[in-house]
Amino acid sequence: MKRLLSVIDWISTWSGKATSWLTIVVIFVVVYEIIMRHVFHRPTIWASETMIFLCAILYVMGGAWTLLEKRHVKIDFIYEKFTPRQQAILDVLTFLFFALYMVMMLWATSKYAWESIQLAEKSGSPWNPPVYPIKIALALGVFLILVQGTANLIRDLYLAMRGR
């Protein structure tokens, strides 16, 4: 079981770190658009849409790594007052809500990704890039978050039952 959890952690870390490099691309796109718009008075058609797509990928593909590192938002001033075992028990109790939400998100993103692939969907903007790669990335990111959350649940159950 430890090996499986280690593999899940590695995938979450790798996907988050690999995707984080898109931040540099987003920065260049934004800077390019600012220069083109304000210096040369020639705004681009593609920059805004590219930035939105890349930020969406960053957000969801970094989610599993963020969950592994316990960096998602929670009410720390209450949570930190609990012992590690009490925190694990609370995390086990709230996992049902997390899992329900993530399963619904996975179902929806997978459905929309599949439909987008079948239609070879495009954005409909003047630039009109394909949308299905973004939708595939969203479904994959949600899947990775759900898997990492399940790995965290296994660890929390162990800590809650054993106290260590």
The model's pLDDT over 95-109, given as tens digits with 9 standing for 90+, comes to: 999 999 999 999 999
- State whether residue 123 is helix, strand or coil: coil
Q: How confident is the model at residue 74 (pLDDT cuts 50, 70, 90)?
A: confident
CA pair distance 128, 122, nearest whole angstrom: 6
Q: What is the pTM of this model?
A: 0.93
pLDDT tens, 107-155? 999 999 999 999 999 999 999 999 999 999 999 999 999 999 999 999 9
Residues 53 and 147: their CA atoms lie apart, in Å, by 23
Residues 122-132 have pLDDT tens digits of 999 999 999 99
Instruction: Tokens for 163, please give them.
Output: 């106290």
Listed by start position, the domains of the chain span 2-162
